[in-house]
Amino acid sequence: MANKQISQMGLPKSIANVFAARNVFTAKALSLMELRVQNEHLAGHLPTHMKGLDEALCGGIPFGVLTELVGPAGIGKTQFCLKLSLLASLPASYGGLDGHVIYIDVESKFSSRRLIEIGVKSFPEIFHRKGMAQEMAGRIHVLRPASLSEFTESLQQIKISLLQNQVKLLVIDSMAALVTGEFEHGAPRQNTLGWHVSFIKSLAEFSRIPVVVTNQVRSQSRDEICHYYFQVQSWNETIEDRTRHDSHLVAALGINWAHAVTIRLVLEAKSDQRFIKVAKSPISPPLAFPFNITSSGILLLSDDGIELTGPDINAIHCQGHNDIINFGGESLQC
Amino acid sequence: MEVGRLPISASQRGKLIAAGYTTLSSFSSLSPSHLARDLKISDNEAAEIMRVASHSHRLDGSAAGCGTVNGAQTAWDMLHEEEMFPRITTSCMDLDNILGGGINCKEVTEIGGVPGIGKTQLGIQLAINVQIPVDYGGLGGKAIYIDTEGSFMVERALQIAEACIEDMSECGGLLRKDFQACQLKMHPNNILENIFYFRVCSYTEQIALINYLDKFISEHKDVKIVIVDSVTFHFRQDFDDMALRTRLLSGMALKLMKLAKDFSLAVVLLNQVTNKYIDGSFQLTLALGDSWSHSCTNRVILYWNGNERYAYIDKSPSLRSASAPYSVTSKGIRNSASNCKRIKMM
């Protein structure tokens, strides 16, 4: 960002501050709303075609903010991303953004065959037309950075394409994989992604596109059961908590990252049913929707979510979902 | 004028006070030899003290020996001033109670908590509640919302604004006030119009903006609250020089306190949490370190207690430590639902 370059120039503080002050963006909240509702397509949201989720998110994945998908391996995060990429490339008449998509595929999970399959099953009228599949798939650009530094470089290029106004969605699958393996041990992982997070957020905001990032999970270590100093706990309770938490999963990338994302969607499996939960969102109540993965992507089993009170909305359960999904005779292990 | 302020040596001062001379007027009429005898010092020394005293007296310019220090305010005056400004309600009665009525003007209040606890919600609620007209017990002021994370969502602000107007109409109806006039003025769009929204993308921008606020607020005198959401974000990303960070943060805190005092407005800073290793285990604390924790006047921590959200007054010069439950509903921050019938959200 411009400010980072100024700081790299080594200007004296006072001058850097003057530049920064000129950059300050100010608006009245009303004009913000008018601008977005009137000018933006679909009032600033990308509909996911999952009715319950779209209602909870006031229309869909919002523009200009970071949305995170977190869940255990194989739960359906990449499937969700594939569906979203497709939706963004669809023409406006079908509820899409009619634009290009940049898909950053760190773990080589992108499957174009699966993408076309989702397209054919969900929007048969478009995809059976000659050449449409090619055009839709042609709008999705897949990048495969091998390391964090390659990713950093590609971010700069992405900024340029965004300025040219063609890209309408950025998907990063997955963020955690970029950091794992970068450092062996002992290095401060918290700040590794610091610059990237700020950069991606500002990319999202000035180009007003949705940015979807997936995250992995890891088990919660004993040391991490955290409370404030004024929360008194009895000794027995602590022991009980510890055994309970041994099987609990938490999102990777730490608490810094958890603060940085605007919307967090938790995908989990509980009692043999998969759920997608709106865990953190300034505009939605804490709802959980049961879902299944089908040939046409993700299907919500109920559009009325279950409301979860308390911190349980943030918990990630992983019980018994390592089964093979069957549909139409074919089997696909996610 | 107090003897303590005279530019004389400590031993001389000690002797003056020991002899019973605590104010200038008490010895200014004496002769130097008289003073010398009382203090058991030489005549020359006594003459020197008197010369310094009369010089300082002239500089001070105050004829009366009332002992007022320039720029100071008496506690009595401060008490009256405090009563002049009503506090900003949070729309949750329990929370208002532990805050002594609401967020206080002329003070910096820090509110911190884990992600998803409702900090941004509380920030937006306060930005709207500050606009409640004076007739309804509010301040009728405007709000400045400084967004460092991009978490301010206009749709949500609109939702909360509409709910606030609904509540006011109900309240007005109950009190049989003439709310028609108010209703015309209080359209959700008017409320959004009175929130000045700033988006800052780096810590230099943040500091530059806070320096600029002085000028902005002198041009918009009806701003009564400044909310920074969150003050931590840019200071946690890629900051190598921690000493610099501490300096910048304390400079920023001082400026904000000055803003609060000069313009009689409330400053609300939203903070994030971090894990800290204390006494052999990890504990949750608010971010930005120990030196920052001294910078704010009041400190409120939002946390989960079982399935409920609670607020705890961690530090305040005038409020006692207490916890209160609150909830986040589609209408904004409200009383905890456990005491009343559950309302389905959305």
A93 or B93: which leads in pLDDT: B93
Which of B146, B153, B192 has the highest number of chain A CBs within 10 A, making it the mutation to test binding with A? B153
Read off the pLDDT of residues A244-273 as tens digits, 9 standing for 90 and up.
444 578 888 888 888 889 999 999 988 888
Q: Which of A223, A283, A314 lies at the smallest CB-CB distance from B116?
A: A314
A230 with B234: Cβ contact below 8 A: no
Pick from A158-172, A218-232, A274-288 the range whose average pLDDT is largest. Answer: A274-288
| Closest alpha carbon within chain A to B309 | A310
Rounded to whole angstroms, what are the CA distances from B249 to B147, B255, B270?
A: 17, 10, 14
Does pLDDT of A42 surpass 80? no
Shortest Cα–Cα distance, B297 to chain A (Å): 19
Q: What is the pLDDT of residues B51-88, one digit of tens each?
A: 877 777 666 554 444 456 777 778 888 887 777 778 89
Determine the average pLDDT of the residues in A180-201. Answer: 66
Nearest chain B CA: its distance from A116 CA (Å): 34
Q: What is the DSSP letter of B23?
A: B
Span B196-208, pLDDT tens digits:
998 888 888 899 9
User: Cβ A201–B207 below 8 Å, yes or no?
Assistant: no
Query: Residue A320 pLDDT more than 90?
Result: no
Asked if B234 and A198 come within 8 Å (Cβ–Cβ), the reply is: yes
The sign of the CA dihedral B41, B44, B45, B48 is positive
Contact: B198, A24; criterion CB under 8 Å: yes
**Cut 0.80: pTM above it:** no
Residues of B in contact with A29 (CB under 8 A): 145, 152, 154, 157, 192-193, 195-197
pLDDT value, residue A276: 92
Give A113→chain B minimum CA distance, Å. 36
Choose the closest CB to B150 out of A205, A309, A311: A205
Q: Phi, psi (5° rounding) for residue B37? A: -65, -45
CB–CB of A255 and B115 under 8 A? yes
What residue of A is the nearest CA neighbor of B274?
A: A255
Per-residue confidence (pLDDT) for residue A206, from 0 to 100:
83
Cβ-based contacts under 8 A for chains A and B: 187
Across the range A201-221, mean pLDDT stands at 87
Rounded to a whole number of angstroms, the distance from the CA of B10 to the nearest CA of chain A is 41
Domains and CATH numbers, chain B: 3-65 (1.10.150), 76-345 (3.40.50.300)
Beta carbons within 10 angstroms of residue A187's beta carbon: 11
What mean pLDDT comes out for the span B277-303? 85
Q: Are B14 and B22 in contact (CB under 8 A)?
A: no
Q: Which of A150-154, B2-6, B324-328 has the lowest mean pLDDT?
A: B2-6
Residue A212 has pLDDT above 50, yes or no: yes
**Alpha-carbon span A306 to B346, nearest angstrom:** 12
Task: Please report, for residues A83, A186, A294, A325, B128, the alpha-carbon distance to residue A330 in angstroms, rounded to integers and kept in the order given.
Answer: 19, 45, 11, 9, 55
Question: Mutate which of A1, A24, A209, A278 to disrupt the B interface (most B C-beta within 10 Å)?
Answer: A24
CA dist., res. B44 & res. B48, Å (int)? 6
